[in-house]
Structure 1
Amino acid sequence: MLRENKATRTRRWRYRLSIARHEPTLLIGLLLIAVLAYLVIAPLVAVLSDAVRVQFGDQPKTGQSPGELTGYYLWRVFRSPVSSIVFWQPLVNTMVVAIGVTVLALLLGGTAAFLLTRTNVVGRKWLSTALVVPYMLPSWTFALAWLALFKNDRSGGQVGILEAWGVRTPDWLAYGAFPITICLGLHYFPFVLLLFGNALRRLDSQLEDSARILGARQRTVLGRITLPLMLPSLSSSTLLVFGRILGTFGTPYILGLPVDFNLLATSLFSAVRNHEPGITAVIATVIVAIGVLVVVSDARLLREQRRFVTVGGKGAMDRLTDLGRWRWPAAAVAFGIFLLGVVIPVVTLALSTVTVTPGIFTRENFTLKYWISDNLAGAPGFPHGILRGTELFDAAWNSLRIVGLASLICGLVGLLVGYVVVRSDGSRIASFLRQISFLPYLVPGIAFAAAFLSLFAVQRGPIPALYGSITLLVIVLAVTHLPYASRSGISAMTQLGREPEEAAQIAGAGWFTRVRRIVLPIQKGALVTGVILPFISGIKELSIVIMLTTTGTQLLTTLSINLIDFAYDQMANAVVLVIALVSFLATYLTQRLTRTSLASGLGG
């Protein structure tokens, strides 16, 4: 009997292995879950652990041995005499800026969305693309342009254009909450434009027409019908913009540092720079908690959207409001937003890179030395133009290969996640894999970087210390952009039935052959999207990489920030223009390759 049971178990395992060899979806799902658990959950667990355990070197402060449980870091951040500087004031500043940015983004994005989707404003098709361009630029492009215009003598180096013209700019205008709010609002309003605009376009205009037929005025229709139906979209836009501010680093760093105006992101960076891992862990945990709360709130609002569903289908109509004599003034408003969001920042930065003294537009003041000079006097840290030497090209090569490799991994893993989730639909593995692949979206970028720093700064078991390596940058960029690639993969695989694979399997094709010859060719569009979109985002990424790069792994974004730290404003601006050019070209090529548009459905 014992021998029979043993033989039965052996046959059963051989059968399972045979099945797994021909249909390894379950094994791939388990492998993906194991890898993502270590790369997504483990960093968060590590940062939580660092917040309540004594870190090496802090024994004199805590009176405890390294690794012991402690409440010192919680006290230091929340209750100590310096807690106001370390946490509470940055928290208040973050809330003020986040609210201000959200209001401005809603105002600009909502206005633009209404004009492009519900009116016959002049130039709808062109504006629907042009007004998305600010989101393609690095977020701190606007901060550098702001400094080029309004910088005073407080932070050293050359003053801005207005000061050069004899116009005194006060600190509140040059630095701090006001400029940070304006700059981030100009960067994030296209996010609202896309979300709110698409929702407006799906709204059946017959509902509004019915109200007008019954005698309702335009203001009544807008307030009693249109806006109430748009509340879920408005709420979602509000929360998502608010959440993105939590992890934004570049703009608060550039415009807040001269006046010691810290947000949670810059306070976190200061803790890392001061080698305070315990305090870093506590602040990162708070940022993660707020980010999770924001996204969970957004998810609940999405579920509530069912109460706002309108009956549409073939009867739905998308009628444009005739603006009459207001067509051109409305177009002027939309074009003015484009000027503020694209033309003025880019032209200002470009002019700053070719003038010795800002704001002086004489022939003698124009120069190309910041681009091509072999010897720049007074710039010992960077004694040549950015096109000379190797710094720019090394940083560009690092950016292209690191972001490119991360994007390729992200696209392939995203498609695999989609395959496993769809083919194992309803299983616990599918459900857990769907959730864990989306988890990085809940964590603001700079907090996720702090979590990775905590996990990989030292060797843990067989995993070596990866800090300062290209490998770590590739991993963190791939993981943080996985939610977009995985959702693209899931959406694409949902539309692919099982019949082509089943036919190939009957013909004797193995799993790898089926994937290589059937799935990948059919899903090449989703794969391209899952690769290119993370590339576009990663090439201008700063918050995620600022704490993880070293001298040997300099990227274009960190090179720009380092030049700002040395007060080499013209060369920093030149590097940002290079980043903007690469980002724009990547976006353009993506739209040509995939035959899609970021502004698809908004107008024209």
Structure 2
Amino acid sequence: MAVMTETEPPPPPPIRGRTLYRLRVLRHDPTALLGLVLVVVLAYLVVAPLVAVLSDAFRLQYGDEAHAGQAPGEWTGYYLWRVFRSPVSRLLFWEPLLNTLVVAAGTTLFALVLGGGMAWLVTRTDVPGRRWLAGALVVPYMLPSWTFSLAWLSLFKNERAGGQVGFLEAQGVRTPDWLAYGALPIIVTLGLHYYPFVLLLVGNALRRIDAQLEDSARILGAPRRTVVRRIVVPLMLPALSSAVLLVIGRVLGTFGTPYVLGLPADYRVLSTGLFQSIRDRSTGVASVLATVIVIIGVLVVFMDMRLMREHRRFVTVGGKGAMDRLGRLRRLRRPAFALALLVFVVSVLVPVLTLLLSTITRTPLDLSTFTLDYWLAERLPGAVGFPHGVLRGHELWEAAWNSLRVVGLASVVCAVAGLLVGYVVVRGTAPRVAGFLRQVSFLPYLVPGIAFAAASLSLFAVARGPVPALYGTTFLLILVMAVTHLPYSSRSGIAAMTQLGREPEEAAQVAGASWWQRMRRIIFPIQKGALVTGIVLPFVSGLKELSIVVMLATTGTQLLTTLSIGLVDYGYTQLANAVVLMIALLSFTMTTLTQRLTRTSLASGIGG
């Protein structure tokens, strides 16, 4: 009779043997190690700045001991009291908050009416030149946002701000303060910049609506007003809500326009109030304001994500031919085209030509005073901080070189990091690491640019441990700009890696290729399109970026955007306009090249 005996498990391999085995695995497939490195880097560059700015809001800063009655570094509620409850809280927070809400609401309404109307014309009617209009009406977003505000000053500036007055004042027409500065010009100029958002979102949604639904309702006797109210508007709600929230989120973090048009009338919004607090070295107050902006930005994006999940309730099924059916304007075709052309002229040609003419005339827009001094003069009479034309001297060229160098390097870092994040998320075997990278790489999208810049300044302004103080260095600008654009490149990288099967990489691994060889000769070449997109799109956005860099750039790291704002501060309007024209030219050129390289269009999906 056989006797069953319990077999003992084999002894575990020696610790040294297990270590060598894991090292060999990591050498051939270091995805796990790469994931851990990315977790540490993103935690420090994305999460740590937000933690630092929150900490500064509750720790007493040097110089405030006498007011708070505490020692520096102690936990305190002084800054919360000062921002929300003190006698100066109205100036520090409540008035800027109200102004921000007014500007956000007005800009959103303006952009909805203008962008929604143009989207309807381009997508649902037979207006002449639909394809051209679809591309032309997106051009305002290629321009820096404060292009419109500087053009507005060139037309309406009065004597309140000092310096040379605008065209109307020069012609003897008195322009009141409410027309020259404050809420109305900020709303109009921001609305002209952001209405392409609405045009793109609403236009694409309109194209997806099956026109057979409207035809069926009309056959059943429903009047046009009922069809619009009961069918079109409900189906458009997701796109409209996304457009509203995106515009609000953008306005919340916009700095240039409220600064240019609000400062002369002391009209502050949260972004300019935050900048002023940092300029006044009120670090604690600035930290509280930055935290408030972050919270509002997060709430706005979460609302948008929640509404995006509701899209499933608004799905229709129909044939593409039905969706492409256009309404006939008949005798209104030419007036409709004239209206769309007028929008293009007002939002593109008028601002650009106004800025151009202001730089070649001594008296604003008066061609009889034609001059090229603001471009070419070796010496400008009365100018101190910038005593020559913009093409003379070294300031413009140094700022242009800094912009191209900083934005270019940041774009490359952003694209490579985004693809590596996508590689780890898709190829990695650690769900927690993948989930962390997916969420943290998207986190900068939730934070308005100026608030994230304030958070980064809070972390990197002083040395912390082995990391030296980085404020005033080009390295800090590259890091912050790369991180703020990471949400776009990481999402692009995740999507690209999801579409790429494992077979090419596994075949190379069987053939003995190392991980670096597989990345260099398989992954990067195959994902060339995602890399190009991840480089060029952040580059275009970074060229005209101001909110992120305005608090991080110094005299030694001057960029084109900060140079133009500096000239506005000096009161050299024509010189500032010339620099903005250079930025607009670079931005438009790079956007056009991007669309040609990627064979895409900002207006793809609308306009036929």
TM range (shorter): over 0.9
Code of the residue aligned with 2:598 in structure 1: it is T
511-520 or 524-533: bigger deviation = 511-520
* 1:561 counterpart = 2:565: yes
Q: 1:318 to 1:441 in 2, by over 3 A?
A: same
Q: Does 1:31 align with 2:37?
A: yes
C-alpha displacement of 1:528: 0.3
Contact 1:157 1:567 (8 Å CA) reproduced: yes
Match of 2:292 among 286, 289, 293: 286
Tell me if 1:235 matches 2:241: yes
Q: Which residue of 1 aligns with 2:94?
A: 88
Larger CA deviation: 460-469 vs 500-509: 500-509
* Match for residue 447 of structure 1 among 435, 442, 451: 451
For the Cα contact (< 8 Å) 1:466–1:472, is it kept in 2? Answer: yes
Map of 1:161-240 to 2, 5 A cutoff?
161-240=167-246
For residues 292 and 318 of structure 2, the distance between their equivalents in structure 1, rounded to whole angstroms, comes to 43
1:41 maps to 47
Verify the 8 A CA contact 2:159 2:165 in the aligned structure 1. yes
Match of 2:63 in 1: 57
1:314, distance to aligned residue in structure 2 (A): 6.3
- Call closer, same or farther: CA 1:19–1:340 in 2, change over 3 Å: same
The code of the aligned residue for 2:257 comes to T
Q: Distance in 1 between matches of 2:319 and 2:458?
A: 51
- The superposition leaves residues 552-583 of structure 1 with CA deviations (integer Å, 9 ceiling, x where unpaired) of 00000000000000000000000000000000
Amino-acid identity (%): 70
| Structure 2 counterparts to residues 148-159 of structure 1, below 5 A | 148-159=154-165
Counterparts of 1:54 and 1:368, CA distance in 2: 53
SS of 1:320 mapped into structure 2: coil
Structure 1 match to 2:423: 419
Q: In the aligned structure 1, how far is the partner of 2:22 from the partner of 2:211?
A: 57
* Letter matched to residue 334 of structure 1: A
Partner of 1:277: 283
What's the CA shift for 1:319? 1.2
* Residue 435 (structure 1) aligns with: 439
Residues in 1 aligned to 2:18 and 2:219: alpha-carbon distance in whole angstroms:
72
Aligned-residue offset at 1:501: 1.0
Distance apart, 1:359 and its partner CA: 3.5
The 5 A counterparts of 1:311-390 are 311-312=317-318, 317-362=323-368, 365-390=369-394
Measure the CA separation in 2 of the matches of 1:511 and 1:293.
Answer: 41
**Aligned counterparts, 1:103-114, within 5 A:** 103-114=109-120
Return the alpha-carbon distance in structure 1 between the equivalents of residues 53 and 607 of structure 2.
Answer: 45
User: Quick check: 2:207–2:323 contact (8 Å CA) kept in 1?
Assistant: no
Q: What is the deviation of 1:389? A: 0.1
Contact 1:249/1:446, CA 8 A, preserved across alignment? yes
Is 1:509 equivalent to 2:513 in the alignment?
yes
Q: CA deviation at 1:227?
A: 1.1
- Indicate whether 1:77 and 2:78 are aligned: no
8 A Cα contact 2:32 2:429, kept in partner: no
351-360 or 7-16, which deviates more: 7-16
User: Which residue of 494, 500, 510 corresponds with 2:498?
Assistant: 494
State whether structure 2 residue 274 is matched by structure 1 residue 295.
no
Considering only aligned residues, what root-mean-square deviation do their CA atoms show, in Å?
1.3
CA distance in 1, matches of 2:498, 2:323: 29
* Amino acid across the alignment from 1:143: S
Question: Are the counterparts in 1 of residues 354 and 365 from structure 2 also a CA contact under 8 Å?
Answer: no
**Counterparts of 1:306 and 1:12, CA distance in 2:** 50
Structure 1 residues 42 and 313, CA gap change in structure 2 (3 angstroms): farther
How big is the shift at 1:312?
A: 3.7
> Which residue identity does 1:389 align to in structure 2?
G
1:98 aligned onto 2:107: no
For residue 409 of structure 1, report the CA deviation from its aligned partner.
Answer: 0.3
2:538 aligned residue (531, 534, 541) = 534
Deviation at 1:281, TM superposition (A): 0.2
Separation (CA, whole Å) in 2 of partners of 1:202 and 1:416: 34
2:479 to 466, 475, 479: 475
Is 1:139 the counterpart of 2:145? The answer is: yes
Unpaired runs of 5+ residues, structure 1, are none
Taking the aligned partners of 1:109 and 1:485, their CA distance within structure 2 comes to 27
Alignment pair present for 1:550 and 2:534: no
1:429 offset after TM fit, Å? 1.5
The number of equivalent residue pairs is: 599
- In 1, Cα distance between equivalents of 2:218 and 2:420: 51
1:457 to 433, 454, 461: 461
1:123: which partner in 2? 129
